[in-house]
Amino acid sequence: MITIALAEDHHLVRQGFKLVLTAESDFRLVGEAADGLEAVQLVEKKKPNVLLLDLMIPRLHGLEVARQVHRDSPDTKVVILSMHADEPYVMEALRNGASGYVLKDCTAGDLVQAVRTVVAGRRYLSPALAERALTGYVEHPGESELDIYETLTNRERLVLQLAAEGKTSAEIATALFISPRTAETHRANLMRKLGLRSQTDLVRFAIRRGIIAA
């Protein structure tokens, strides 16, 4: 016998899930909760094998409920029920201790399969998610730490170098064939981006970056 608690605030959805669950002879629904706090208390009291948990449940966010249940009742497996098919939600849920993630527009078979899989000690993701996980990561765009110097435009880099060499805005303007006002704007923009407050800061930055010799 598999004991199940259902935490879902939406009446119609809860009715639908109940129909699916009660159709299985070895499933037993031991309790229902309509918000996150109730869900945590329900698990405390009934210690079910599985908690079916709506991600967007009111009062206590589903992610927080999952975290607490995973910490305090590790024998209860949490299956997230969600309207969100987006990977970040899935990742967040798994990170918070959920064993399964089921989309609410799943078929009845998916839900039953999810319960059986997590009870057997494995993870379960809705088929749509599992497929996406396979293809999704291939497209993962590159990502890395930003070096703030990168945000300077070519012009600003030139102005930085000239300014670090001690040139005035007027001299910079002449060197780059721009107006002194434009030179001044470039200088203000680059200092703001780099978080520099004074000419000393600017020179120090330029030396540290090897833009000018110490």
Partner 1 sequence: MKQAAKILIVDDNPVVLFSVAHLLEATGFKVLQAATAKQGRELARAELPDLVLLDVMLPDQNGVDLCRQLKAELATQQLFVVLLSSVETSPDSQVTGLEAGADGYIARPIENRELLARVQAMLRIQQAETELRRAHDELERRVAERTAELSRANAALRALSQRLVDVQEAERRFVARELHDEIGQMVTGLKLLLETSLRPTNPGELQSFEESLQLINDLMDRVRRLSVDLRPQMLDDLGLLTALEWHFKRYYKQTSIRVLFKHTPLPERLSSQLETAVFRIVQEALTNVARYAGVKEVTVRLWKNEERVGIQVEDGGTGFDAATRSAEHASTGVSGMKERAELLGGEFTLDSFPGQGTCVTVELPLKRTPEAPVSSGNGI
Q: How many angstroms separate the CA atoms of 48 and 181, rounded?
A: 71
What's the CA gap between 20 and 109, in Å, rounded? 8
Are 110 and 102 in contact by the 8 Å Cβ rule? The answer is yes
Stretch of 67-75, 146-154, 161-169, 170-178 lying at the interface with partner 1 (CB under 8 A): 146-154
Residues 9-68 that bind partner 1 (CB under 8 A): 10-13, 15-17, 19-20, 23, 56
Identity of the residue, 17 or 205, whose beta carbon is nearer to partner 1 in the bound complex: 17
**Measured from the CB atom, is 71 or 95 closer to partner 1?**
95
Question: Could you tell me how many residues of this chain bind partner 1 (CB under 8 A)?
Answer: 42
- The secondary structure element, H or E, covering residue 30 is strand 27-33
Smallest gap from Cβ 22 to partner 1, in A, equals 9
CA gyration radius, the chain: 29
When asked if residue 143 is in the footprint of partner 1 (CB under 8 A), the reply is yes
Q: In Å, how far from its chain's centre is CA 15?
A: 30
CA distance 86 to 129: 8
Does position 175 interact with partner 1 (CB under 8 A)? The reply is no
Query: Token digits for 206?
Result: 């330029």
Amino acid sitting at position 163:
A
Q: Nearer to partner 1 by C-beta: 73 or 149? A: 149
Positions touching partner 1 (CB under 8 A) are 10-13, 15-17, 19-20, 23, 56, 83-89, 92, 104-105, 107-108, 136, 139-148, 150-151, 153, 155, 189, 192-193, 195
